[in-house]
Amino acid sequence: MHSAHDSDWQTTEPETATGQANASAASVSPEEIARFGAIAREWWDPTGPMRPLHAMNPLRIGWIDRHLPLRSRKQSPLTVLDLGCGAGLASEALAKAGHDVLGMDASAEGIAAARKHLEENPLPAGAGSLAYRIGSAEALVTEGVTFDAVVALEIIEHVTDPTAFMSMLASLVKPGGWVFVSTMNRTTRAFAFAKVGAEYIMRLLPVGTHDWRKFVTPSELGQYGRQAGLRLEDIAGMTPSLLGNGWRESRDLGVNYIGAFTRG
């Protein structure tokens, strides 16, 4: 295998007539791709359909960055894959934190929105690099590309086979590297808040965004990781702050949570 620094991040997968990159059904559901692609142009609107992710993003990125090993100025930045990056909310934040980031998504519309936002809002001085690619993780596995860290935020509850998905994440990270996964717990409270409340009552998300039956419990996530050869190092709940629009880290894993794994 070769590192991400050796690969051409700008290369994109061949696109079909519908504008969607070829992807294996093992990890990507065409219905899910189409659903999120339909709102790609609104992704960067902090008051739009992705406003919960805007509010949650500082917590997610701060938590991830805190777990990643520090590099001296003489060392190259960490390479990070943001898989299922959508329009690049996490990708841009990770690059601003100083990492070399590849944002990858199977939605051509999502990647187009990510590239447009980056073009209109260049990264500041001192940031890492950022490139986007249309395609599936399977393409990277075939190419033998590996990264210092792989990030999959709010993705596993949308894939068709979470066991195979975690194995794929493990194959994309270097030995000793980190894998970060955030998702929602399959609890009655999560159904009430993340499904009924967010989609039908408060209209924070488009109706149909989530299927509660595909939510993942912390024990299941840990099991998927172990089966993939990953070790769960840390896990934390993500809870909306009562004092504002932000989110805070908590011990409450009942709805949203994030886990950090390492590959031995």
CA–CA gap between residue 264 and residue 166 (Å, rounded): 15
What is the secondary structure of 70-105 as a DSSP string? P--TTSPPPEEEEET-TTTHHHHHHHHTT-EEEEEE
Residue 105 assigned to a binding site:
yes
CA–CA gap between residue 159 and residue 28 (Å, rounded): 5
**Which one, of 74, 76, 67, 65, lies nearest residue 6 by Cα?**
76
What is the residue type of 104?
M
**Which one, of 264, 36, 261, 24, lies nearest residue 150 by Cα?**
261
Contact 4, 99 (CB under 8 A): no
Residue 89 assigned to a binding site:
no
Residue 230 assigned to a binding site:
no
- Give me 168's structure tokens: 């794929």
Residue 153 assigned to a binding site:
yes
Residue 233 is classified by DSSP as: E
Binding annotation for S-adenosyl-L-methionine? 60, 84, 105, 153
Binding annotation? 60, 84, 105, 153
